[in-house]
């Protein structure tokens, strides 16, 4: 009875296994490599190690190297793209005094004169634009640039100033809500005002650099004020170890000491300037001109520069460096080893002349006599010998 019940139970269990696994016979003919399976599992479970990224900091001396011959936003953007070839750009700082922000390049002055001349011809009806001027705030179209300018000043500039006054007068949560409500409109006005109104101060150098992501700082009008502030900022960044590569935009030789200090701290240094054989480029690891930055040549050459830096780091690890403390300890160990060998050699000489490890000459003679007394086949014939 019990045997029948066991057979029935086994048949039921086997049928359940077949239903759970419809392909049980494939395991007999298929061979799986356990190593491949475990390797695939390990590859999926263990992600690839993340390579450490090099942090790059850009320091721009606007007093010494302003972007006079090209638009500031384009110059800042190209500079950032070139610096990103050396690593991840974390900090972008620009220092200048009041004179740098109020300066208007000659190319910008000529463009403004041409625009004024075109406005006069459009007002007289001599020239008519092919496409109408479009207001980027409200979308209205004008066939006269001066009318567009007046429309922008009378309507949109006043509205923008009212929003700013409301935000300035508000406090606490109300200020936060107003900023959130007017954020889109303020940004839209900033994007539209660049092509319509001339900036009141300079040609929008600070605004253009901020738009490119730079942190612009204005210093006092004292001589060398921007250099001192920029140098202190670089030293503070090195002390906090927040960057491994410094990009300096300047031709001023006063920054040579800072570059040498950065090299002593094992930081990479790059200089952007127009003086090819200047003191800064001789002290830095790499140097580029503004022309190379704008043409994209610096971004291509940065790959070879980074490869050369990696080779130098590997060679530095393989170089032998003299450490006086290690040399003293090593010499002490060698001297102690030599003294130990000399002591052991003297003990061997003494043992050769006299007794060796407590065995005298008489004992050796007795052993020789015992060996010669019996034949070679009778050496182990002693019945009392124990094995």
Kindly list the domain boundaries of the chain, sorted by start residue. 55-101+205-317, 119-194
Give pLDDT tens digits for 205-255.
888 898 889 999 988 888 888 889 999 999 999 999 889 899 999 988 889
260: pLDDT strictly greater than 50: yes
Q: Kindly state the tokens that stand for 254.
A: 């006063």
Phi, psi (deg, nearest 5) at residue 184: -65, -40
Task: Provide the pLDDT for residue 23.
Answer: 46
Q: How would you label 148-183 residue by residue, b for 16+ Cβ within 10 Å and e otherwise?
A: bbebbeeebbeebeebeeebeeeeeeeeeebeeebe
Q: 193, 152 in Cβ contact below 8 A?
A: yes
324: pLDDT strictly greater than 80: no
DSSP 186-243: HHHHHHHHTTTSPPSSTTSHHHHHHHTT-EEEE--SSTTHHHHHHHHHHHHHHHTT--
- Which among 138, 143, 139, 134 is positioned nearest to 196, based on CA atoms? 134
Task: Provide the pLDDT for residue 168.
Answer: 92
Q: 270, 287 in Cβ contact below 8 A?
A: yes
Q: 244, 52 in Cβ contact below 8 A?
A: no
Q: What's the CATH number for 55-101+205-317?
A: 3.40.50.1010
Q: pTM above 0.75?
A: no
Beta bridge partners of 355: none
Task: Provide the pLDDT for residue 308.
Answer: 76
Q: How far is CA 103 from the centre of its chain?
A: 34
């Amino acid at each position: 009875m019990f045997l029948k019940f066991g057979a029935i139970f086994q048949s039921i269990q086997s049928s359940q296994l077949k239903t759970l696994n419809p392909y049980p016979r494939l395991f007999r003919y298929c061979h799986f490599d356990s190593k491949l399976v475990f390797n695939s599992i390990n590859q999926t479970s263990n992600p690839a190690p993340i390579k450490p990224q090099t942090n790059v900091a850009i320091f721009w001396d606007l007093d010494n190297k302003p972007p006079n011959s090209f638009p500031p936003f384009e110059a800042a953007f190209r500079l950032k793209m070139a610096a990103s070839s050396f690593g991840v750009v974390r900090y972008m700082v620009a220092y200048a005094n009041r004179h740098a922000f109020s300066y208007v390049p000659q190319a910008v002055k000529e463009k403004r004169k041409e625009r004024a001349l075109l406005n006069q011809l459009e007002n007289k009806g001599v020239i008519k634009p092919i496409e109408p001027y479009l207001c980027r705030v409200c979308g209205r179209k004008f066939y006269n640039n001066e009318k567009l300018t007046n429309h922008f000043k009378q309507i949109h500039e006043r509205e923008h100033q009212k929003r700013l006054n409301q935000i300035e007068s508000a406090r606490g949560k109300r200020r936060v809500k107003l900023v959130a409500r007017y954020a889109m409109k303020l940004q839209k006005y900033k994007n539209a005002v660049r092509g319509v109104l001339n900036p009141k101060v300079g040609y929008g150098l600070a605004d253009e650099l901020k738009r490119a992501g730079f942190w612009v700082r204005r210093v006092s009008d004292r001589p060398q004020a921007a250099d001192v502030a920029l140098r202190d900022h670089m030293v503070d960044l090195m002390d906090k170890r927040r960057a491994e590569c410094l990009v300096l935009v300047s031709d001023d030789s006063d920054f040579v000491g800072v570059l040498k200090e950065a090299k002593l701290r094992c930081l990479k240094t790059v200089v952007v300037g127009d003086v090819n054989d200047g003191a800064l480029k001789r002290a830095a690891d790499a140097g580029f001109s503004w022309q190379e930055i704008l043409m994209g040549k610096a971004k291509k050459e940065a790959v070879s520069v980074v490869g050369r830096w990696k080779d130098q780091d590997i060679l530095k690890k393989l170089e032998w460096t003299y450490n006086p403390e290690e040399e003293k300890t090593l010499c002490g160990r060698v001297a102690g080893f030599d003294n130990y060998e000399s002591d052991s050699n003297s003990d061997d000489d003494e043992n050769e002349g006299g007794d060796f490890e407590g065995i005298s000459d008489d004992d050796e003679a007795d052993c020789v006599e015992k060996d010669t007394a019996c034949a070679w086949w009778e050496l182990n014939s002693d019945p009392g010998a124990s094995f």
